[in-house]
Amino acid sequence: MAGQLTLRVITPDRIALDVQVESVRLPGADGAFGILPRHAPMVTAIAIGELRYVEHGTPKTLFVSEGFAEVRENTVRVVCEAGERPEEIDEQRARASEKRARERLAGRGKPASPMPAEEALDLLRAEASLRRALTRLSVQTSAGRERVRT
């Protein structure tokens, strides 16, 4: 359809989203950026974040984890570790994940210098886990606000 994009989000276990949209805002690894119909072809890395899109005039949000996005022939194809619509997000699970990650970060004590590789990796994993949990909670909360407004 003219003036529309196909937005498809693929994760290891399912197609999280396959919709016709007016615009997409991707959480790029170097910052968020927008895609409109007739965008030039490109491939880029995406970060843990909120993928925003406008479907039939309604702004919507999807949680996405790390991956890649390809834009080609009015199709935005996102392949990522996880993707969830706000209503699919289990709030209790995200809160439990947030708590675990915070405990891992708080329990580290004074880091050795130079930090051993294993410890540095644990730190990065805990930070990424915290980012996923907080972003899931944010996606859920902002969708709740949209519902109240409409």
Contact between 139 and ligand ATP per CB under 6 A: no
Q: Is the dihedral of CA 112, 109, 29, 8 positive or negative?
A: positive
Of the candidate spans 39-47, 51-59, 79-87, 104-112, the one that interacts with ligand ATP by CB under 6 A turns out to be: 79-87
Q: Which of residues 52 and 132 has its CB atom nearest to ligand ATP in the complex? A: 132
Q: Which of 22, 14, 132, 140 is nearest to 76 (CA)?
A: 22
Contact between 88 and ligand ATP per CB under 6 A: yes
Is the distance from CB of 44 to CB of 51 less than 8 angstroms? no
Instruction: Sketch the per residue contact string, 18 through 57, with ligand ATP: x for CB under 6 A, - otherwise.
Output: ----------------------------------------
DSSP 36: -
Helices marked H in the chain: 91-106, 117-149
One residue of 21, 46, 51, 132 binding ligand ATP per CB under 6 A: 132
DSSP 38: T
One residue of 129, 130, 135, 143 binding ligand ATP per CB under 6 A: 129
Separation CA 12–CA 97 (nearest Å): 20
Q: Which of residues 54 and 105 has its CB atom nearest to ligand ATP in the complex? A: 105
Cis-peptide, bond into residue 114, ω within 30° of zero: yes
Return the SS3 of 33.
strand
One residue of 89, 126, 139, 143 binding ligand ATP per CB under 6 A: 89
Q: Which spans of this chain sit near ligand ATP (rule: CB under 6 A)?
A: 13, 65, 81-82, 84, 88-90, 93-94, 97, 129, 132, 136
